[in-house]
Chains A and B, each alone.
Chain A
């Protein structure tokens, strides 16, 4: 069974190599079928491993370099349920994207498929590895393939610019991570996560350890797009090809947060454990700022993909709140939220891709009412918007409810208001855009849009007949939404994840497993609490989002006094916030530097 662990990475990488070698020998459909088969088999491997790991976590040592007397020299893959849940999500989204892109990019060869498979292998390796440097290598592999995929449409200026901003900021993030790794290696002489954790636990939380921690966290914050490291994300998502956007929004950002949780709980928990209350405050605060900034920036967008990109920023903020609570219950809730939200967002991006196929545009105002011919896509789009809001039984409401409840336990009862506000503000623009584009509601330009980024794409992504939607496009969109819906109806989903989260947060148990081969005790499932309150909150959130969307559509009908208040009170600060998103990579790097300095100052003051 443990041989499946390396196979989950080897299969996509070998498949990508074969595909590369087979260039010109096959035709386009050959590449499609082969790539889908490879990604699908990886999905099956991940699911088998996931179910197996819920019974018993596993470790695989490459080249049989297993630890001697608790000292690890080799490189390991660790199979535990949280990592494998994310790996399974990655494999599922890649498979869906490959199916969806059956009708995409008709002129290109096999490079797209090769890049997608390498990207998949890198993401799974990133989830499974138990070694700090390998984590960096997979991070870089993931990043470089992501840069190329983002800039895939090299004929478009916007796409190139988005990819450049992405590559420069994320590379600086990677250098920060590498510097952090170098400092940790200098202190401990080890690269295995568990080994570093054991070594650090016996030492002081001095400047070197805090600096290394700040570098690692800041680097992963860039990938996760946490404010103020997030500026690259909307540029990239707005201009990347649709199937790639699905992966970026559904899993890539989330992997940044996964890495933060992983490095904290395997390495730093022992040495920083005493300052956990302060660390929690910093993380929850950062998450809250991210959730609000993303949500506020979401509202004025008219470019639908850019709108979804800002909603991703906002949701990453909420996930960070969940991860930053540093509790097993919140982590289990965050995983449920992250997976179901990633599926819903993927479905929304697929719908945006259908718009692009049919109308050659994703501009909310430009497409006003033009989507009347494709009402089924419209229904999927609106359902997706309600899913973002957390309407039961979409799985999103389960995750949000658990995060809110656990936050209240830990003294952050305001998190409920934050989650509701951010959910309303991210779901409402989606509903507004859907109602306007697919049904022509609302007057065309009454709402004061001044977005520079219009949604007109230079080159269409598809070359087939535009008067029909290929079935595979809407089937994949519906499938993602369906899985998210079903996940919400599985009873006690997050309760089942709690033992896994307990293990994830237990540094000692992880080290015992990796270094000494001791499997953790069976933990009994905690009693399940009914999520009635969460369901009610989800329902209220969805209703509020519908109301806010209506406000956005019929803005002109508001009384003049209210319009005046909105224009005077909210206009200038919003305008200033939007002006910060300048599309200029130099500005973004300046913000990144400020972010590292602020984060470092905060953590040095609170932990040290």
Chain B
């Protein structure tokens, strides 16, 4: 089992967080959040991976033949649905912020301080 997917997941999480922290544009920020989320896809799929196994579609493979773990794939799918919902909601809010405040820059939003 290679460590590469785990390194990729950690990298995506870190780089996404860096993007959010330094972001100057709300749309960019939402996309960075999706980058963080994609690290969880990689992590989940890496955990279910088995070398040499086939996809978990059990109609065409002989019984007992190795298949990768379908549970984590189901979890990933749920995760994707969650991601779509959150991104859609956040993008809608970002557009609304631009309508109201005339800016996408989080540095210029200052109604809530102290």
Contacts and interface: CB of A to CB of B under 8 A. Distances in A.
Contacts of A64: none
Contacts of B72: 182, 185
Interface string A167-178: 110011011001
B29 A168 contact: yes
A581 B113 contact: yes
Q: Which of A172, A235, A450 has the largest count of B CB atoms less than 10 A from its CB? A: A172
Contact of A450 (B39, B71, B101, B114): B114
Interface in B4-37: 9, 13, 17, 20-23, 26, 29, 33, 36-37
A452 B106 contact: no
A174 B37 CA distance: 9
Contacts of A186: 47
Nearest to A454: B111
Contact of A171 (B13, B21, B75, B86): B86
Interface string A568-588: 000000000011011111110
Given A239-B112, A586-B106, A175 B13 contact: yes
Q: Interface centre among B37, B40, B94, B112, by most A CB within 10 Å?
A: B112
Interface stretch (A156-164, A265-273, A506-514): A156-164
B89 A144 contact: yes
Interface string B40-71: 10011001000000000000000000000001
Given A163-B93, A175-B13, A175-B36, A586 B109 contact: no
A583 B36 contact: no
Contacts of A148: 89
A238 interface: yes
Given A167-B89, A593-B21, A172 B36 contact: yes
B2 interface: no
Contacts of B82: 140, 144, 174
A157 B17 contact: no
A126 interface: no
A593 B22 CA distance: 13
Contact of B40 (A162, A175, A585): A175
Contacts of B21: 586-587, 589-590, 593
Contact of B39 (A167, A175, A235, A238): A175
Interface residues of B, number: 41
Interface in A210-252: 234-235, 238-239
A504 interface: no
Contacts, number: 130
A262 B56 CA distance: 33
A167 B90 contact: yes
A161 B20 contact: no
**Contact size range, A:** 35 or more
B90 to A, nearest CB: 6
Contacts of A154: 93, 96
A156 B79 CA distance: 31
B47 A451 contact: no
Given A172-B33, A589-B21, A182 B44 contact: yes
A179 interface: yes
A20 to B, nearest CB: 16
Contact of B113 (A156, A175, A239, A582): A582
B90 A168 contact: yes
A300 interface: yes
Contacts of A172: 17, 20, 33, 36
A578 B100 contact: no
A307 B72 CA distance: 43
A234 B112 CA distance: 9
A589 B20 contact: yes
A161 B111 contact: yes
Contacts of B13: 175, 179
B46 to A, nearest CB: 9
A451 B114 contact: yes
B33 A168 contact: yes
B26 to A, nearest CB: 7
B40 A185 contact: no
A133 B74 CA distance: 11
B93 A453 contact: no
A586 B100 contact: no
Interface string B80-106: 001001100110011011001100001
A137 interface: yes
B61 to A, nearest CB: 21
A157 B75 contact: no
A213 to B, nearest CB: 16
A179 B42 CA distance: 10
Contacts of B75: 133, 178, 181-182, 185
A157 B39 contact: no
Contacts of B111: 157-158, 161, 453, 583
Given A171-B37, A175-B37, A586-B23, A238 B112 contact: yes
A128 B32 CA distance: 33
A585 B25 CA distance: 11
Contacts of B96: 154, 160
For A178, A182, A583, the residue with the greatest tally of chain B CB atoms inside 10 Å of its CB is A182
B17 A164 contact: no
A147 interface: yes
A158 B20 contact: no
B112 A235 contact: yes
A168 B47 CA distance: 26
Contacts of A164: 26, 90, 93-94, 97
27 contacts: A133-B75, A137-B78, A144-B89, A158-B111, A161-B109, A164-B26, A164-B97, A168-B29, A168-B33, A171-B86, A179-B9, A182-B44, A182-B75, A183-B43, A183-B47, A185-B72, A235-B112, A452-B110, A452-B113, A453-B113, A582-B113, A583-B109, A583-B113, A586-B20, A586-B21, A586-B106, A590-B21
Given A172-B20, A578-B114, 7 more contacts: A140-B82, A151-B93, A171-B86, A175-B40, A182-B47, A453-B114, A589-B17
